[in-house]
Amino acid sequence: MKNIFISFTIVFSILTTISCSSIKKTKTEKTHLPISKSLVGLWRQTIPIIKDGKTTNLLTPHYKSINTDGTYYTFNAPGNGNTKIIQYGSYEITSDNTYIEHVITNSAVPTMSNQDSSIKFKLVDENTLIINWKLKDQRGGTEKWTRVLMMD
């Protein structure tokens, strides 16, 4: 009976160690933006341009980082070395297609600072995000974002 107990304890310990190791690895992998397939990720704003019946996407210098820890920020990287953070705050996903941005600071539109922005979003595919936003008693807009991918 003692041998069975010792054998069970050893097997249980090994399985627990393997299981915990796998869980830790999964949680670590989910924190990396480049492998995310969800709303979390590094996004670049694109503007659809229609010319001669064809739609092309103009890449802007505007980026949004939506992080796994519930924070986000947007920044402008115009290519002249003058990259600046424009806005930052936290977010809360409230449904399958809605999240709230709790804007702490927005240097481009200061009236957005210390405001909550309700955002409807749709992942068209794993690399295309459409958002519709509106601030209480203020303007709103629709934006298209393309996921920034890892270099091959």
Kindly report the CATH number assigned to the domain that includes residue 89: 2.40.128.490
Q: Tell me if 152 is assigned to some domain.
A: no
Query: 76 with 10, same domain?
Result: no
For residues 117 and 143, give the distance between their C-alpha atoms in angstroms, rounded to a whole number: 14
Mean pLDDT estimate for the chain: 81
Residue 23 pLDDT: 33
**What is the domain extent for residue 120?**
33-147
Query: 61 with 19, same domain?
Result: no
Overall number of domains in the chain: 2
Q: Tell me if 37 is assigned to some domain.
A: yes
Query: 120 with 49, same domain?
Result: yes
Contact status, residue 144 vs residue 57, Cβ threshold 8 Å? yes
Long-range contacts of residues 73-81, Cβ cutoff 8 Å, at least 24 apart: none
User: What pTM was estimated for this model as a whole?
Assistant: 0.74
Q: What is the mean pLDDT of residues 54-72?
A: 94
Query: 39 with 111, same domain?
Result: yes
